[in-house]
Amino acid sequence: MTTAGKSNPLREEEDRRLPRIAGPCGLVIFGVTGDLARKKLMPALYDLANRGLLPPGFALVGFARRDWAHQDFAKIVHDSVREYARTPFREEVWNQLSEGFRFVPGDFSDDVAFDQLRDTIDELARVRGTGGNLAFYLSIPPKFFPDVIGQLKEHGLSDPPADAWRRVVIEKPFGSDLKTAQELNAVVEGVFPQESVFRIDHYLGKETVQNILAFRFANQFFEPIWNANYVDHVQITMAEDIGIGGRAGYYDGIGAARDVIQNHLIQLMALVAMEEPVSFEAKALRTEKQKVLSAVKLPERLDRHTARGQYAAGWQGGQHVIGYLDESDIPRTSQTETFAAVKLEIDTRRWAGVPFYLRTGKRLGRRVTEVAVVFKRAPHLPFDATETEELGQNALVMRIQPDEGVTVRFGAKIPGSAMEIRDVNMDFAYGGAFTESSPEAYERLILDVLLGDPPLFPRHEEVEMSWMILDPVIEHWAQHGQPDAYEAGTWGPRSAHEMLARDGRSWRRP
Amino acid sequence: MSTTELTQTNASEIASEILKARRRAGSPSMGMVMTLIVVTDEGDHYDALKAASGASREHPARIIGVIRRSARGSSKLDAEVRIGASGESILLRMSGELTGHAESVVLPLLLPDSPVVVWWPGKAPKDIAEDPLGSLGNRRITDIAALERGREAAMLAQAENYEPGDTDLAWTRLTPWRALLAAALDQYPAKVTGAVVAAERANPSADLLAAWLSSRLKVDVTRTNSKGPGLTAVTLETGGGEISISRPDGVLARFTTPNSPDRPVALKRRELRELLDEELRRLDPDDVYAAAARALIAKGSPRAGRTTTRKAAKPARTAKKRPRS
């Protein structure tokens, strides 16, 4: 289907107004009653339809253990679209979409349900013209993957009919260490070929993350200083102000490092640190990401260069909040970390001696994700020490969320008769970031799945490499008792600050 | 949002008012990416500027509204400066001899080094690229469908005077149709042997679509009249049957391809703001529009029932970048 452009006389390369519309297809969502499906997937599908990017005749099949008829399912989708879609609700778009809704009730071990699923899929090919092209979205806990994927295979759903495709979409966590990641991968890729497996890391679908690539490789004046000669260190932060909320079952035993560093932060680091890909084809991007990940080294002394914490009760933004151990369904003895920070080094000529500090946590000062590239001081300052007392290090901050944009921090003269220099900020905020016109990450990623366009999806090699980086840290922590407590609403435990202080640096207040 | 009115003013006073207003708002950084000049009149300016500031949420812009009043009497310039959340807007009202020299006010107010778009929401000069305001722009947008009469002649004149960077919203309105037609041929890649475009009388979009189809598919395209609204149906004939998209109500279309069930497709006529959003997304010359415009001229004045012959299809003239003035 991607070759259509060559033979289709109505498509020309210069005709960039014409959007990429997915070919005839359908999407089957397992776990359609979950939060992700309701808050992200179904609204994203509606938004795609509203933008005219879904094919006419698109079909959506829900699969869950609920006693629903098709109309009940349509009602659920309707409510979620009404509540969470970013584009305005339009009756005609809804009509177009809802004609293709089907619901299949059943358990993942229920053969009858999967037979019914197959019949539904055949029926959709007939009445909606999906051409047998289907993506299976597993919005379910990974422990059910073997069941569902086994059933898909057994009922002949994983093998596409001639000239059609079958794809599978899975969400993090991709295992909880290298071994489980490999096991999971064996299950999935045992049934679906590698190029049909789409792993969603929704961070990679964000405009601002893709902008890192544009920023680095479309401009001339960043690349010359993007190396160890000029960069002192890099800080990558993803902070949340919320606690674990209702996710105790998922979160306890997993923790911040597995939940966030393994995927989002290491992917961000790869994008910031990688060499220029020869093209933006999936293969070229993957090659560079894997190259840089393979050069990542952990510090020898994990006790001195990593930190972990667990939030204690405190005041956050004017509200008193309880500590992690007091959250419901969390054992009082839990050693799960809600804050994690690691120092990584990259053994390449470009990055030798430049530490990458990655940190993430819940119940921190505010919700923010950013990448800060902090530069070395100027080798010589032709000013008195007192004149530059307020001058810090230059920094370039890519703000991923919220308030997407770029900040450059540099020194400027304070207006007045004396020569005094202090740090100033220059901000770039792309106004479109908040409008409906900038697509939500899931929209972009779902469309890419339907188009079969893989650049934004990590492959199992990348997943395994990031576990190789992180496994020793997690093992080290497992042998060293309780994480350090930090008061909710602050920027993490004292040990995190000490970890940078040892290197003569400090965390930015993002 | 702060608004300041200046009477009997000039460009440098306006520029310094913008600076002051920004400082008053705490020097917010705007990250503005373009200047959008809206050439309008007292009657239309409200809707046009509303659409422009709507579009500037996606494309942060300095919007300069130009209203020419009576050319009689002494020259006078009044201005309204607004600094809002997503950009700045300046409304200029000119009268007297100054109405013939609007560009002298606008030129000093252009944002440095960034693209300039000139938009005529209503009546536009005959040769927009040669127009003194038009020549300030990298991109010139007209809307022939907004004219009360003489649309066909205006569309032809626009096509004949085409310069790289020109575009008309009649073309923008076609994007969803063209996307669906292209998707139809992706799904059903058959040789097209003929086509029919049905629309209201005097619909410049339909004429452009017929011209585009005939130039791309190298077939005769028949243009028929319907009651509207706007475009109502496009049919492509193939050996295996018809591919058709019909939209009788201007909202929901029926999509038909051979060997497949009919399917509904939302195909709502878009609002001005959405059209402008699309226009501002790409600021380089639209060569595909140029080719369609050329095919339109070759066919002569479009009349319902007439058929675009395949001789009409000529390759697009390669667009040369115009120097920015």
Return all residues near A246 (Cβ < 8 A) that are at least 6 apart. Answer: none
pLDDT digits (tens, 9 = 90+) for B182-227: 988 888 888 999 999 999 998 999 999 999 999 999 999 999 999 9
Q: How does residue A352 score in pLDDT terms, banded at 50, 70 and 90?
A: very high
Angstrom distance (rounded) from CA B225 to CA B227: 7
pLDDT at B322 over 50: no
Say if residue B302's pLDDT is above 80. no
Rounded to 5 degrees, what are φ and ψ at A470?
A: -90, -30
**What six digits make up the tokens of B134?**
């038009």
In the numeric block, which tokens belong to residue A153?
A: 């295979």
pLDDT exceeds 50 at position B314: no
**Per-residue pLDDT at B236:** 95
- Residue A210 CB contacts under 8 Å (≥ 6 apart), including other chains: A204, A456
**Mean pLDDT across chain B:** 87
In chain A, residues with a C-beta closer than 8 Å to the C-beta of B251 are 92
Percent of chain A at pLDDT above 90?
A: 65
Residue among B57, B187, B280, B310 with most chain A CBs within 10 A, to mutate: B187
| Interface contacts (A, B; CB < 8 Å) | 132
| Interface contact flag, A431 B86, Cβ < 8 Å | yes
> Could you tell me if A363 and A311 are in contact, meaning their C-beta atoms sit under 8 angstroms apart?
yes
Cα B143 from Cα B151, distance rounded (Å): 10
**pLDDT tens digits for range A221-265:** 999 999 999 999 999 999 999 998 878 888 898 999 999 999 999
Check the CA dihedral A27-A31-A33-A34 and report its sign: negative
Mean pLDDT of all residues in B273-287: 90
Burial of B31 (0-12, 13-18, 19+ CB in 10 A): middle
B28: pLDDT strictly greater than 70: no
Both structure tokens of A315:
């005041």
Q: What's the mean pLDDT in B35-63?
A: 89
Residue A379 scores a pLDDT above 80 = yes
Mutate to test the interface with B, among A8, A124, A430 (most CBs of B within 10 A): A8
Are the C-beta atoms of residues B325 and B303 closer than 8 Å to each other?
no
* pLDDT confidence of residue A430: 64
Which among A78, A202, A233, A264 is annotated as catalytic?
Answer: A264
Beta carbons of B288 and A429 less than 8 Å apart: no
Q: Which of A9, A93, A431 sits opposite B216 (nearest CB)?
A: A9
Q: Which whole number is the average pLDDT over B248-270? A: 88
Specify whether the CB–CB gap between A28 and A63 falls below 8 A.
yes
Do A249 and A329 meet the contact criterion of CB atoms below 8 Å apart? yes
Query: Among B35, B28, B38, B31, which Cα is nearest to B2's?
Result: B28
In DSSP terms, which residues pair with B141 in a beta bridge? B119, B167
Q: Which of B134, B159, B295, B141 is nearest to B223 (CA)?
A: B295
Q: Is pLDDT above 90 for B120?
A: yes
Rounded Cα gap, residues B192 and A161, in angstroms? 27
Mean pLDDT of A297-307: 95
Q: What is the mean pLDDT of chain A?
A: 90
Per-residue pLDDT tens for A311-342? 999 998 888 999 999 998 899 999 999 999 99
User: Which among A259, A211, A167 has a CA at the least distance from the CA of A454?
Assistant: A167
Report which secondary-structure segment, H or E, holds A307.
strand A306-312
Cβ neighbours of A434 in B, within 8 Å: 57
Residue B250 CA to residue A67 CA, distance in Å, equals 38
CB contact under 8 A, A9 and B179: no
- Tell me the backbone φ, ψ of residue B251, rounded to 5 degrees: -130, -60
Smallest CA–CA distance, residue A271 to chain B, in Å, is 24
Contacts of A132 in chain B (CB under 8 A): none
Check if A431 contacts B (Cβ < 8 Å): yes
Q: How confident is the model at residue B113, as a pLDDT?
A: 83
pLDDT at B26: 67
pLDDT above 70 (res B165): yes
Percent above pLDDT 70 for chain B: 89
| A264 noted as active-site residue | yes
Inter-chain residue contact A9 with B217, CB threshold 8 Å: yes
Residue B315's pLDDT is 43
- Please give the average per-residue pLDDT across B156-160, as a whole number: 91
pLDDT given at position A26: 94
| Cis status, amide bond into A331, omega within 30 of 0 | no
- Tens digit of pLDDT for each residue in A390-446? 788 999 999 887 777 889 999 998 888 888 888 888 888 765 444 445 678 899 899
Asked if A113 and A104 count as a contact pair (C-beta separation under 8 A), the reply is: yes
pLDDT bracket for residue B1 (50, 70, 90): low
- What whole-number distance in Å separates Cα of residue A249 and Cα of residue A264? 21
- Taking contacts as CB-CB distances below 8 angstroms, the residues of chain A near B257 are 129
Does A3 touch chain B if contact means CB atoms closer than 8 Å? no
Quote the tokens at residue A428. Answer: 């770039």
- Is residue A190 scored above 80 in pLDDT? yes
| pLDDT at residue B317 greater than cutoff 50 | no
pLDDT in tens, A101-136: 999 999 998 999 999 999 999 999 888 888 889 999
* Mean pLDDT of all residues in B7-26: 85
Mean of pLDDT values over B237-256: 92
Q: What is the ipTM of this complex?
A: 0.80
Question: Which member of B218, B268, B277 has the closest CB to residue A437?
Answer: B277
